[in-house]
């Protein structure tokens, strides 16, 4: 496992196109299982408006137990959060989101719990092209900028 600075990363659509991902729990679960064959998923209830969230765990090259949750706060509007993730770990998931799951590379924004805690409301964009290393660099830049 990498000894990088760990954080909670959030990936979501542009605020003016909130339902652009057309996300459903079944669709996310199926796509995640196809990309990460050993993925574990579990639909969990929440008291917020009687909704649910999808808890998941996947293996990345550096982390055999990367955990996250997928939420759908309003119909077709997805948000994917990775907890206790290094930029290296998060880059693998973000790369899959951008190139496989999300219908277009310009429909993904990200932030972190650190940014929210410091009041940073910026919506960072993933690089529209490039591999995992380019995404990892953007995630590292974000963490450096927000403290």
pLDDT tens column, 2-44: 447 899 999 999 989 999 999 999 999 999 999 999 999 999 9
Q: How far apart are the first and last CA of the chain?
A: 23
Output helix, strand, coil percentages for the chain, rounded to the nearest 5. Answer: 35, 35, 30
> In sequence order, what E strands does the chain have?
7-12, 40-45, 52-60, 63-74, 77-85, 109-112, 124-125
pLDDT tens column, 59-102: 998 899 999 999 998 888 999 999 999 999 999 999 999 999 99
- Please name every residue paired with 124 in a beta bridge, in sequence order, or none if there are none: 110
> What pLDDT, on the 0 to 100 scale, is given for residue 103?
84
1 pLDDT band, cuts 50/70/90, is very low
Q: Which of 16-25, 28-37, 45-54, 133-142 has the lowest mean pLDDT?
A: 45-54
121 pLDDT band, cuts 50/70/90, is confident
DSSP state letter for 129: S
| Residue boundaries of the structural domains of the chain | 7-146
Largest distance between two CA atoms of the chain: 39
DSSP state letter for 70: E
DSSP H helical ranges for 104-131:
113-117
In degrees and rounded to multiples of 5, residue 74 shows phi and psi of: -135, 160
């Amino acid at each position: 496992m990498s000894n990088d600075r760990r954080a909670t990363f959030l990936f979501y659509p542009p605020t003016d196109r909130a339902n652009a991902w057309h996300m459903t729990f079944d669709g996310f679960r199926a796509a995640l299982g196809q990309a990460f064959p050993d993925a574990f998923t579990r639909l969990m209830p929440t008291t917020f408006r009687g909704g649910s969230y999808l808890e998941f765990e996947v293996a990345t090259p550096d982390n055999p137990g990367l955990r996250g949750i997928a939420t759908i706060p309003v119909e077709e509007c997805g948000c994917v959060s990775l907890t206790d993730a290094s930029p290296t770990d998060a880059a693998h998931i973000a790369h899959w989101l951008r190139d496989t799951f999300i219908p277009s590379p310009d429909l993904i924004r990200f932030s972190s719990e650190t940014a929210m805690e410091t009041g940073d409301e910026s919506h960072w964009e993933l690089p529209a092209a490039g591999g995992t290393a380019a995404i990892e660099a953007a995630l590292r830049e974000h963490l450096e900028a927000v403290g």
